[in-house]
Amino acid sequence: MITKDYVILAPQGIHARPATTLIRLTKNFKSAVSLKKGDKVVRLNSMLNILSMTIKGGETISVIIEGEDEVKATEAIDLFFTEQLKEL
C-alpha cells in the first residue's frame, strides 16, 4: 500500500473535469485507489463520491493506492496531481 499527500494546485479544486480525468486514469490500473480528506475516505471510481467531498484549491488530500501495479499507478497519479491538474 502506498499513501501520498498532495496539495491541490488547481484554483477550482477537484471539480467535474479533473475528476473525470482522474477516474479514467485510475481505470488503467488494477490497483484500488482511494481518496482521503480529513476522516472521509472514498473509492476513486465514483464521480459522485469524489464531488461530494468538495475538494478545494489549496487543500491537502491523501491518495491511497493498493494492488499489484501500485508503483506504476502511483507514478501516474503523481504526475496528475503535480502537473496535469494545473491545466484542467
Closest approach, Cβ 80 to another protein, in A, equals: 15
C-alpha to C-alpha distance for 85 and 88, rounded to whole angstroms: 5
Give the span between the Cα atoms of 26 and 80, in whole angstroms: 11
When binding is defined by CB under 8 A, the residue of 4, 30, 40, 86 that contacts another protein is: 86
Residue 62 identity: S
Active-site residue 31, yes or no?
A: no
Site for another protein in 28-57 (CB under 8 A): 43, 45-49, 51-52, 54, 56-57
Which residue spans within the chain are E strands per DSSP?
A: 2-7, 32-37, 40-43, 60-66
Figure out which of the listed residues 28, 30, 41, 58 binds another protein, where binding follows CB under 8 A.
58
Residue with smaller CB distance to another protein, 3 or 54: 54
